[in-house]
């Protein structure tokens, strides 16, 4: 009975890990230098930043 219960728990844990959707990462670059910036810089200078979005695998 314990083996059956542990098997059921393990399969639900494994399937729940695979069922998660990939998250998007949002990074901001400076238009003049191309370096990544912080959220504070982006909020102060929204016209000079480039927004990049990527999906995590």
- CA dist., res. 3 & res. 44, Å (int): 58
Place of tokens 């200078």: 45
Burial 24-42 (b: 16+ CB within 10 A, else e): eeeebbeeeeeeebeeeeb
pLDDT digits (tens, 9 = 90+) for 3-52: 888 888 877 776 666 666 667 778 888 888 888 888 888 888 878 778 77
Looking at the whole model, is its pTM more than 0.75? no
Q: What pLDDT does 37 receive?
A: 84
Residues in the chain, total = 57
pLDDT digits (tens, 9 = 90+) for 10-21: 777 766 666 666
**CA dihedral of 38, 43, 44, 45, whole degrees rounded to 10:** 80
Give the residue extent of every domain in the chain. Answer: 23-57
């Amino acid at each position: 009975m314990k083996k059956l219960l542990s098997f059921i728990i393990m399969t639900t844990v494994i399937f729940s890990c695979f069922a998660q959707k990939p998250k998007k990462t949002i990074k901001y670059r400076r238009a003049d230098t191309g370096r990544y910036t912080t959220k504070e810089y982006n909020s102060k200078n929204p016209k000079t930043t480039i927004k990049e979005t990527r999906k995590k695998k």
